[in-house]
Each structure stands twice: as C-alpha cells, then as structure tokens.
Structure 1
C-alpha cells in the first residue's frame, strides 16, 4: 500500500501556518486578554480610592445626639465595605442618635445610627460610693444589686436586679474626697426592667454595682 506524501505534507503545512489577524480564534484571545487586564486595573483603582467617613472624636454614649463636635472626618480605603460606615458625603442624619457605644477613634457604623425611637435600652444614672475597679469604662458590663428599705427603716437582703447591664458612661465626683467620694454610673436598662429599678431608686433602696468582667465575652 502507498501513502500520498503530498497530501500529508499539505496537511502539516496547514497546521504550522501562522494564524491570520482575521482568524476568529486570535481575535477572541486578544479580547479576553484585554478584558482581564481592564478588570485588574479597575480592581486596583477601586482599592486605592479613598472615601471620607466619620470617626468618633471621643467615646460617644448610647442615646447621644450626633453633632459635628463629636466627629472627625477620616479618609479611608474600605473598598466594598464603605457602605457599612457613616459617610461624610451624606452628612449627619437629622435627629440622629447612637444606638450603641462608639469608642474614641472608631469609625461610626451606619448600623449604630438611628433615632430615639430605635433605642431598646435607656441610660439610668446610679450613684455608687464603693469605687469600681481601676480601668472600668464605658462598654463594660456590671451587675446591679438592690436592697429594698423596710417599714422599720432597715434593708432587705440584697438581690440581683440587673445582670450584665452595659455601662454607657462613668463620672467620678471630683469634688468629694475620701470615704465620701462617689461615682455616677450610667447603665443601659431595657423597658421591661425599668419600672422596678425606678421604684427602687424612688424608695431610697441601697444600690450596689459590681463589675461583671466575663459577661461581654
């Protein structure tokens, strides 16, 4: 049997022939490379773009009405996460309050900005004479114990009224010295527990605030 070598050589030459610029496969390849390059350039540009958002100038307690004095403008690169924070371009919403503590230097989360109607906890001031441990600050958790006054001007056994209540603010009475010094502790109280706490305060119950360091973990 004989083989047509001319036919074989012709097919090999066809396979080795350089592709023409009119070849659809070449055009598709070039378009894919260009599209990939454009996508990488766009991604790098978006990551390098900065946006102005608000940061807390100092600790801002829950329920605080936001004002320019509380905030600092910070340029940041957050990419797709930029929508999670309060943008300067939209300004401070009217009647906006914080629904959670924002600490000094923290970017203000959009989810932490609402109105007074959004608050499910409200701050109540408790004056305590026993000092809290050094380093106690807003955001820590405390247990609140009360001893109710009896008809004989004595007090019942202490009982736990609020467990793991969040501290929104601490104010030390600098004018008092020694044993008479006191601290005003603002704790966040939900509506369910509010009547009982206010009743205890109005009836001169003894209030004790105990740091609960494991509650927030």
Structure 2
C-alpha cells in the first residue's frame, strides 16, 4: 500500500512589535501611574495638614467672657476630630460671648459651649465653709451644697437620734472660684467657695446663708482636679 507524505508549510514566527508612544494601552498605563502618584502625594499632604484652634487656658465656667487672655492656640491635625464644631483660631472671637457650660483646662472650645448672658439662669453665690474643702473642689468642678442647722434652729430631726439633721440645699453646682486662707480675697481666714446657683434655688440658699448654722460643699466624684 502506497503512503504519501503531505508537506505542510513551515510555521512563520510572529515578531512582536514594540508599542509606540501613541499606543492606547501605553497611554492608559501612564495615566494610571500618574494618578496613583498624585493621589498618594495628596493623601500625605492632607495627613500632615493642621488647623489652628482655641483651647481653654484653665477651666472656663458659665458666665465667663471668652477673651484671648483665657485661650491658647494649638494646631490640630485634620481628620483627627470634627473641627467644624470647635472654635477656630482663624476666625475672630465672638463678640460679647460667654461660656454657658464648663470647658475644662486644655479642652478644645466647642462652639456649642458659647452663648449670651441671656442664655444663663445661674448666679454666683459666695459660700463660706467652716471646714476646708477637699482638693477636688476646684474651679469647674461640681459640688453639692449642704446645710447643718444650729441646735435651736433645726427644721429637720433625725428620727433615730433625735438630733437636727444636715440636709442638701442644692446639688450639682458648678464651682466658679475658690478663695482659700492666705489668698488676697480671704481676709477672714475661712475658705470661701463661689458656686453658681440656679435662679429657682436662690431663695433657699440665701436663706440658709442668713440663718444660724453652717454650710458645707461636698465634691461630686470625678468632676474635680
């Protein structure tokens, strides 16, 4: 039986051509690289960018005016906090603004902590205390005000002992000032604690100050020092 061999043409090697500068694929790759570099550079610059904001220089208490002498400027890095809610040092200080809630020493000053005097319903009252208060009684801390009536002026009696009972006059009052013995404003030698009393509690606090008895301030844990 005859067999024949079919001669097939030899394969021709395909030569790869180097892409030209006008090749769309090359242009797209270069564009992606350039975009990645630009994005990385922007991210680094943004992470390092800072904005000047105001912080409290010492505790600020309700009713206190907001002035440059009570504030410091610090640079805060963008992205660490929502700076829109805080007082920016790039803007002028609000005129006639006062603090309406306590701002702690070194705390960023929130815009919500500022208002006008008409927004306040507290009055400062000087309370001389017979016993020197603890170190936790400082400006900006909260205290409860207690009254111990004299024996002949007692209005409340402890049923278990039959003796006059101390009772709370007001709770959660903000300390605005503390004058300890030896200070320029404490000539009597007694410690005087200035507290901010709500308007509706003023009558009973003032009555207690004018009556026979002693007053004491008890710090609220976690709010002082």
TM-score normalized by structure 1? 0.71
Against the structure 1 CA distance between its residues 193 and 23, is the aligned structure 2 distance closer, same or farther, given a 3 Å change threshold?
farther
Counterpart residue number, 1:55 = 55
Which of 189, 193, 196 aligns to 1:181? It is 189
Render the CA deviation track for 1:133-190: whole Å, top value 9, x for unaligned.
235322333221124579x54554221232343323212242668xx63222223334
Mapped to 1, the partners of 2:91 and 2:9 lie a distance apart of 79
**Structure with bigger gyration radius:** 2
SS in 1 for 2:102: coil
- After superposition, the CA RMSD in angstroms is 3.7
Aligned positions, number? 207
Q: Which deviates more from structure 2 when the two are superposed, residues 188-197 or residues 35-44? A: 188-197
Question: Alpha carbons of 1:155 and 1:39: their partners in 2 closer, same or farther (altered >3 Å)?
Answer: same
Change (3 A) 1:162 1:153: closer
Give the stretch that moved more between structures: 85-94 or 133-142: 133-142
1:7-61 Cα shifts (integer Å, max 9, x gaps)? 9x65xx6xx6555444444433333332332232223223333433333343333
Residue aligned with 2:109, SS: coil
Q: Helix, strand or coil for the counterpart of 1:90? A: coil
Distance in 1 (CA, whole Å) between partners of 2:122 and 2:56 is: 21
Please tell me whether residue 207 in structure 1 is matched to residue 222 in structure 2.
Answer: no
Q: Distance in 1 between matches of 2:220 and 2:74?
A: 37
CA distance in 2, matches of 1:99, 1:164: 15
Match runs of 1:94-105 below 5 Å: 94-105=95-106
Q: Equivalent residues in 2 for 1:36-75 (5 A)?
A: 36-72=36-72, 74-75=73-74
